[in-house]
Every structure is written in structure tokens, then in C-alpha cells.
Amino acid sequence: MKVAKFGGTSVASAEQIKKVAAIVADDSERKVIVVSAPGKRYSDDTKVTDLLIALGEAYLEKGEAEAELQAVVSRYEDIADGLDLGKEIVATIEADLRDRLTFDRNRPESLMDLIKASGEDNNAKLIADYFQRIGLNATYLNPQDAGLLVSDEPGNAQVLPETFEHLEKLRDSDEVIVFPGFFGYSKEGTLVTFPRGGSDITGSIVAAGTKADLYENFTDVDSVFAANPNVVDNPVKIKKMTYREMRELSYAGFSVFHDEALIPAFRNRIPVCVKNTNNPASTGTMIISEREYFLSPVIGIAADEGFATIYVRKYLMNREVGFGRKLLQILEDEGLSYEHMPSGIDDTSVIVRQHQLTAEIEERIIDRIQKELCVDDVYFEHDFSMVMIVGEGMHNTVGVSARATAALARASVNIEMINQGSSEVSLVLGVHAEDTDRAVRELYQEFFGGADESIE
């Protein structure tokens, strides 16, 4: 039994939805189909989710948003016309949107969740309608009816444990179930959306709940690549990788998955296959628990920008009991999370996401560190990137760090920070943002130069 999730580009138009239908019809093991909201049809197009955000914001500001509503309805109407579905499904979608706009405007976060989630919900209804019209035994299923329960945190829903027991019954369905991604319901019945990558999270949850033999994630690329194709020309394809490798690469900017999306599948040891809706015959990339890594100790290179460093220096810091705890407590008091914390005997650096900072927050942090920790020096530096080399085989391979530093030296890229986790699945190199692409290209050449079209 397979759960298949189709992303925004895969369901962006009538033509794409026809491809989805052909893929589903081709394999009777594909029993649950998780769908996103319609994405971009071409590079300058607008995603339906963005149209819905504009609709919600206009309604909150003015109390009406007829033009914005019609822009959303028009997208669905265009898809329905291309699928020869007639006007009934479009009328159903418009009525649903108007009903959502009757929600209490004094609860703006919940209202925005309700409106944004309509993208996936209404697309699932439309796709189920099309499946039925072409003779597939299919039905739309709302997450509330399926028992997908989540915490009541608008925009940041976390799945509740009982959900998985509720979803297991979907295995027994004789129909192909079309399931909207991106949202669930609180125990009180409030619709709540997941964070970024929400439809991927839904797919992973449904695969775990149904104990699927395989979770297929259909997108618009043939596989996961060893580096960003926008930075490296024709990077090699990855045939197999582990969950940990995928999570590390997702954290560092890989756009295939949000870094939390696979956790339910990972915990239930369900293999994941990344496939291309436009080329379903391609084998794609398998994401599994373990792989043979002796041939490819390094599986990928990724980079993410937007980091700042808090540099702290104090003589004999290493002998002061509780110094690190007190330093992190100051950050916690400001609501900041940290990413890395490389240290020496008399100094330490705390790497944080730059978007969390303001001038006022930085000033308060520096003032408190100076007064409470009596340091010799403290200051912020901005605009760093974290370049990450990832691979399960690195901990058994001598010389990975030496090769990485030598490659960056050749590219005249100065390394500001090096950090390797205790699992040794990844090596993180901090560089200035303007050096990011040059660093990625040189590291790719070092570890993958001369490689075939794909690696395992």
C-alpha cells in the first residue's frame, strides 16, 4: 500500500492533474493521495496560497475582499474548465470560500489558517471530482473526518499521538482517498495549519498512520541532487540516502522537503521515494533508514544564508561553572533559539538565525552579557552562511575535513567557523554570505567532480 503526495506544481493546472490521474490509475497500490494547493503554472505565476493570503489580509483590513475572492475562484474555474468538470464544483468552492469569510475577524490567526487551508481542501475536492468522472473509484476525505488531530497552535500545528491510530483504518478503504494536505483539527474542532512544508508533513503523517509500505512524494524534479542546480551545473542525482542525511540537507537549504516533514515517516521506518510527476518512469530518490555508504561517504552539499554570530570572550571562561548556561539563558529570555555553539577555552560563538534579531534585542543582549557575565569582549557579526557537507559515511572516512578546508582555500574562501555534530553526519562551515556560491561549487568539485550522473 502506497501513500502518494503531489506538490503544488504537480496540481497547478488541468494538464498537470491529468498526469496525476494517470499516475494514480497506473498503480492500484496508491490508495491515499495527498494534494497541495495549486502552485505556479509558469515562473511569473502566483500560487493559490499567495492569492488566499491576499484574500485573508484584505478581508481583515476592509471587512470585504470580493476582487481577491474572485481571483481565487478564477484559478479553480480555469482548472475545472480544462478538466471538463462543469460549473457545480466551482460553485461549491466559491460557497466554501464565502463561508470561511464569515469567521470571527477578532481571531485573525485562526481566520488566516482557515482561509489558507482552503487551497488544499478545495483542490482535493476538485481532484476527487475529476477522478470520479474518469472512472476511478475515488472519494474526498476531510482531515477532521479522518481523525487528524493537532495542537491548537495557528500556523504551527503539531500532530497528536492518537492521530496515527485514527488513520490506520484508511488502509481498509476500497476507494482511492483524496486527502488535502497542510492542516488538521484541534480536539475542539478548530482548523489549524502546519508550518512550512505543510503538505509534506501531512503526507508523512498519513503514511505513518496507515503503515504504508512506501510514501511517494511527487514533485517537479527527477530526484534529489547532490547540490543546488541553481548553483552547480548538472549536479549528480542521489539514488539512495538516509533520513538523517535528508534532514541535515533540508535544514541547510535543500528545497525538496522542510526539515521536519519526514519525522513521522522516519519514526515508523517507512521508506520515502521522491519522484517526478512529469517523468514518473524515473526511479527517483529513495530515502531509507540505512544505506551502504562506503562508495559515497559524502552524499550532498547545501548552504543556507541569514545567520549572525554572537562572539563572547572571557579569560578562563572554561573554568567558570555555569557560564554557558547563563549565556544561553540570556538568549532564552529574548525568545531566541540558537543553531551552533563552537567554543574555545576563553571564547565562544553562538550562531543564531538573523531574522530573530533587531537592533534593540542586540543591544539588550550585549548589555546583559557584559554586566551579568563580566566578559572581556562581546559583539555581533552579521551576514554569514552555513555550508554543510553531509554523509553517513564521513565518520568512517579519514580526511573529509582536510579536503573541505583545502578546497575552500583554493577558492579563497575564509572559514569563520567549523562545527561537526557528535553523530558526524554533517560538517558545518561558516563563511561570509558573499562567498556562499563559490564555496558550494568548490566543495562540489572536490567531492563529486568526475562522478557519474548518479550516486548511491
The 10s digit of each residue's pLDDT in 88-133 is: 999 999 999 999 999 988 999 999 999 999 999 999 999 999 999 9
Angle between helices 66-82 and 48-62 (to 10 degrees): 160
Q: What is the pLDDT of residue 53?
A: 96
Q: Tens of pLDDT along 385-442?
A: 999 999 888 877 888 889 999 999 999 999 988 887 666 788 899 999 999 999 999 9
- Higher-confidence residue of 289 and 357: namely 357
Q: What is the pLDDT of residue 329?
A: 96
Range scoring the smallest mean pLDDT among 132-136, 325-329, 342-346: 342-346
Q: Tens of pLDDT along 52-61?
A: 999 999 999 9
Cα separation, 323 vs 350, whole angstroms:
13
Strands 417-420 and 426-432: antiparallel
Share of the chain above pLDDT 90, in %: 74
Q: Is the pLDDT of residue 452 over 70?
A: no
Q: What is the pLDDT of residue 421?
A: 67
Q: Tens of pLDDT along 353-385?
A: 999 999 999 999 999 999 999 999 999 999 999
Backbone phi, psi, residue 295, to 5°: -80, -30
Q: Is 449 assigned to a binding site?
A: no
Cα separation, 221 vs 289, whole angstroms:
22
Q: Mind giving me the DSSP string for 291-330?
A: ---SS-S--EEEEEEEEEEEEEE-TTGGGSTTHHHHHHHH
Q: Which of 185-199, 241-255, 428-442 shows the highest mean pLDDT? A: 428-442
Enumerate the β-bridge partners of residue 308: 352
Q: Is 254 assigned to a binding site?
A: no
Q: Is 5 assigned to a binding site?
A: yes
Domain boundaries 2-220, CATH class: alpha beta
Range scoring the smallest mean pLDDT among 36-40, 277-281, 288-292, 327-331: 288-292
Q: Tens of pLDDT along 134-185?
A: 999 999 999 999 999 999 999 999 999 999 999 999 998 999 999 999 999 9
Q: Mind giving me the DSSP string for 128-183?
A: HHHHHHTT--EEE--HHHHT-BB-S-TT---B-THHHHHHGGGGG-SSEEEEE-SE
Question: Max alpha carbon distance in the chain (Å)?
Answer: 76
Q: Is 102 assigned to a binding site?
A: no
Q: Is the pLDDT of residue 75 over 70?
A: yes
Q: Is 31 assigned to a binding site?
A: no
Q: Is the pLDDT of residue 248 over 70?
A: yes
Share of the chain above pLDDT 70, in %: 95
Secondary structure percentages of the chain, helix, strand, coil, to 5: 40, 20, 35
User: Per-residue confidence at 69, pLDDT binned at 50, 70, 90?
Assistant: very high
User: Per-residue confidence at 36, pLDDT binned at 50, 70, 90?
Assistant: very high
Q: What is the pLDDT of residue 29?
A: 95
Q: What is the pLDDT of residue 399?
A: 85
Q: Is 40 assigned to a binding site?
A: no
Q: What is the pLDDT of residue 259?
A: 62
Cα separation, 277 vs 7, whole angstroms:
9
Cα separation, 127 vs 272, whole angstroms:
23
Cα separation, 216 vs 207, whole angstroms:
9
Q: Do residues 263 and 205 make contact, with C-beta atoms less than 8 angstroms apart?
A: no
Q: Is the pLDDT of residue 292 over 80?
A: no
Domain boundaries 300-455, CATH class: alpha beta
- Higher-confidence residue of 123 and 247: namely 123
- How far is residue 190 CA from its own chain's centroid? 24
Q: What is the pLDDT of residue 263?
A: 86
> Where do the structural domains in the chain lie, given as residue ranges?
2-220, 300-455
Q: Is 220 assigned to a binding site?
A: yes
Enumerate the β-bridge partners of residue 242: 288
Q: Is 49 assigned to a binding site?
A: yes
Q: Is the pLDDT of residue 341 over 70?
A: yes
User: Per-residue confidence at 453, pLDDT binned at 50, 70, 90?
Assistant: low
Q: What is the pLDDT of residue 295?
A: 66
